[in-house]
Structure 1
Amino acid sequence: MDKQNYVVGIGEVLWDILPDGKKIGGAPANFAYHVSQFGLCSQVVSAIGKDKLGYEIMDNFKSKGLGTLIEQVEYPTGTVQVQVDANGVPCYDIKENVAWDNLPFTDRLLQLAESTCAVCFGSLAQRNIISRTTINSFLDRMPDGDFQYKIFDVNLRQGFYTKDILCNSLRQCNVLKINDEELVIISRLFGYPGIDLQDKCWILLAKYKLKMLILTCGVNGSYVFTPGNISFVETPKVKIADTVGAGDSFTATFIAAILKGKSINEAHKLAVDVSAYVCTKAGAMPEISSELLNRL
């Protein structure tokens, strides 16, 4: 892959305030970090405030060797209060009107879009019109082609989504990543609640002319749908520390493997194993084991 072909996570970057302290989070940042661990040129695109929390984010990314295009804006750096239940499942209280809600579309961002082969974006960072417009402008300026991937990782959080945002994002993407709970919610919104999960996936794949649809079902395994084909991989049984960032590591690993020429099945299996590994570690950005990295 040409070194100018960047893999980008665009949207929220924030501090997850966990029971045992704060850890950097935000799905796009998690995605970009895990992509970088597989040796690809990744960039996290977001915004921070001119405050201590913002400077700490930049220091942390620098220490990880993570590429960034992060604007400083006149809003506070984002934070999320995270409570983790007895099963390790997180519950989020996401603060509003923060820096990443106000991401400007700059000339630097335009140039990055034109050099991007894969981008991952979600619904949360589109809750504010400024960042929503920037994300859509980025997607519009990306090249189109067989090896260009626009991944919509739905990531429904609290009430921060609308049917219009979801519909537009589905039209903009060519790869959809969704979990079983999100699929149920979207099916109700879109008016086909009475059919099974797989049929819903086939409908979305065809309606939005997707290259791939990734469905994760927690302990019940995961699927990758492509036109005419389906891959299923069971979820390994591991001792869970927490599930924060596990889905982001799945998406990052899957697309890194695809970009490195692996088959759908090979990419899917590696993504499942990396995601399971991340569940055994606290926080969203653990270092992936060398055994897993060496599979690419």
Structure 2
Amino acid sequence: MSQSQENYIVGIGEALWDMLPEGRKIGGAPANFTYHVSQFGLDAVAVSAVGDDALGEEIRQTFAEKELQIQIATVPYPTGTVEVTLDGKGIPHYDICEGVAWDNIPFTAELEALAHNTIAVCYGTLAQRNSVSRQTIESFIEAMPAEGIKICDINLRGTFYNKEVIESSMRKCDILKINDEEIVEVCRLLGIEFTAQRRAALCLMERYEIDMLILTCGTEGSYIFCMDGTESFRPTPKVAVADTVGAGDSFTGAFIAALLMGKEVKKAHALAVEVSAYVCTQNGAMPELPEKIIDKL
């Protein structure tokens, strides 16, 4: 792909297969984010790595079918998979395989060129469990224009996180996405007394100089806190939940797409809530959004 214009929105990190009860679905938080940004017509690129195997080739083919731009390296490790089980409320629980391709994303000249032309990047903590991908993510951020927006998605999975990675990730970001369970655990790791969600959010923003914090609370709604004092709360719509896999990633993708297209925070928040609610009614993390939602931008 060509990088002749400086307007790419990148999701960098894990691209994998969610092994769901009803079958295999493509996933990975950064890939999910990128897909949902792309549905609103923006130039989004998924960056990851797959193995030289059938599952890796199928990831490439699936992204091609979804018309999603990719920079996905082939590395001598198996393509990532996650065994996903759903509880009675459709809430997923993950068993994530280790030593896989997305743990070993190389920082190439092509990737550096993409970074030079990136206006926003979304990265998470899960893909930084291995030093190779962690260094690639750090190098990508360093190669971006100074004014580029850095979005950190805290995704605490199993034992694949630590204080060092979380702090480093938050120091680099302009926008932090975190959920109600993660903010409690992050405060515990960082020695911050947790008394209330809003207080904890503002404390993290001040300590790590974060411009905006997205706090999602499942059925209890979601909040946006901004350093300029802007705040937004929206309740979660009641829908028939198929599963919640990728719902948070779709929220982030829609929110960032709306901001980049000039929408103010509260309107971007409203769109993000609607997109996330729709994704919950579908199986898997990458359903096609209906035109009535896309047309709102």
TM interval, short-chain normalised:
over 0.9
1:233 aligns to what?
Answer: 234
Alignment of 1:131-170 (within 5 A): 131-145=133-147, 148-170=148-170
| 1:113 alignment partner AA | A
For each residue in 1:23-79, what CA deviation from the matched residue of structure 2 results, as whole angstroms up to 9, or x when unmatched? 101001111111110000000000000000000010110111100000000000000
Map of 1:250 onto structure 2: 251
Taking the TM superposition and a 5 Å limit, the aligned residue runs for 1:267-282 are: 267-282=268-283
- Overall identity of the aligned pairs, in %: 57
The whole-number CA distance in structure 2 between the counterparts of 1:123 and 1:45 is 15
Query: Which amino acid counterpart does residue 193 of structure 2 have in structure 1?
Result: P
Distance in 1 between the 2:200 and 2:17 partners?
34
1:202 maps to which residue? 202
| Equivalent position SS for 2:236 | coil
Residue range with higher mean Cα deviation, 185-194 or 237-246: 185-194
**Partners of 2:40 and 2:257 within 8 A in 1:** yes
Aligned to 1:118: 120
| Structure 1 residue 3: Cα displacement | 5.0
- Once superposed, what is the RMSD of the aligned Cα atoms? 0.9
Partner SS state of residue 150, structure 2: strand
Q: Which residue of 1 aligns with 2:75?
A: 73
Task: Measure, in 2, the Cα distance between the counterparts of 1:54 and 1:4.
Answer: 29
Aligned residues: 293
The residue number in structure 2 matching 1:222 is 222
Q: Note if contact 2:184-2:194 (Cα within 8 Å) is conserved in structure 1.
A: no
**Is contact 1:184–1:193 with CA below 8 Å preserved after alignment?**
no
Distance in 2 between residues matched to 1:131 and 1:165, nearest whole Å: 12
Distance 1:158 1:193 in 2: 23
| Displaced runs of 4 or more, over 6 A | none
Q: Say whether the 8 Å CA contact 2:194–2:200 is kept in structure 1.
A: no
Give the whole-Å Cα distance in 1 for the aligned partners of 2:143 and 2:195: 36
Distance 1:189 1:208 in 2: 15
Residues 3-22 of structure 1: pairs in structure 2 closer than 5 A: 4-22=6-24
Ranges in structure 1 where 5+ consecutive residues have no aligned partner: none
Q: CA shift at 1:253, angstroms?
A: 0.1
For 1:73 and 1:170, locate their aligned partners in 2 and report how far apart those are by CA, in whole Å: 28
| Cα distance in 2 for residues equivalent to 1:35 and 1:114 | 19
State the shift of 1:134 in Å: 0.3
Aligned to 1:265: 266
Q: In the alignment, what sits opposite 1:91?
A: 93
Q: CA deviation at 1:4?
A: 3.1
Q: Which runs of 5+ in 2 are unaligned?
A: none
Q: Which of 32, 35, 43 is residue 34 of structure 2 equivalent to?
A: 32
SS in 2 for 1:17: strand
Q: Which moved more, 1:61-70 or 1:203-212?
A: 203-212
TM-score, length basis structure 2: 0.97
Alignment of 1:162-201 (within 5 A): 162-201=162-201
Q: Given that residues 3 and 41 in structure 1 are in contact (C-alpha distance below 8 angstroms), is that contact kept between their aligned partners in structure 2?
A: no
Shift in Å, 1:210 = 1.4
Alpha-carbon distance in 2 for matches of 1:48, 1:54: 5
Indicate yes or no: 2:45 matched with 1:43. Answer: yes
